[in-house]
Amino acid sequence: MNLEKIFNYSMRAFFSPDNSTYNMPAIGIAFANSEFPSKAIEMIPDNGVYTLDIEITPILLNITCKDSLTQNTIFSTKLNYDSIELDEFRKKIINGSVGLFVIGTFVECHFYVIGTKKSKPYQVKQINFID
């Protein structure tokens, strides 16, 4: 299974503009179970630096993750989101900011980062919002 197929099973984006755990803005990508995020974590290079393009539509976010050096697409996905959470994130984070993204699971209305040997936040060189 490739990353595109795995991310077809992702379901929601979470935004934390002032994440005290990582001391920088964080974007969480949630799946309904732990199987798919664990597979994704194993397939995404952990030493890479990425660009996230986030296209905002009224219903879904279209997120494309690219290698910041080659601009090759690593994965793309369409995710549900909370518009109030996104608005708060955008009030504190300007277009083009650095940050990170994490992968996890959404269980009983809570987002949990998946813990594996390779799981750590992925560095984002640039967060681009496309309205």
- pLDDT tens sequence across 36-74: 999 999 899 878 899 999 999 999 999 999 999 999 999
Find how far residue 49's CA is from the centre of its chain. 13
pLDDT of residue 28: 92
What's residue 118's pLDDT? 57
Residues of the chain with confidence (pLDDT) below 70: 19-22, 115-119
Looking at residue 116, its pLDDT comes to 58
pLDDT value of residue 8: 94
What is the C-alpha separation between 72 and 21, in angstroms, rounded?
29
Domain range annotation of the chain: 3-130
Q: What are phi and psi of 92, to 5 degrees?
A: -105, -20
**What pTM was estimated for this model as a whole?**
0.90
In DSSP terms, 90 is beta-bridged to none
In b/e form, how buried is each residue of 5-15, taking b as 16+ CB within 10 angstroms?
ebbebbebbbb
Q: What is the pLDDT of residue 19?
A: 62
What pLDDT is attached to residue 17?
A: 74
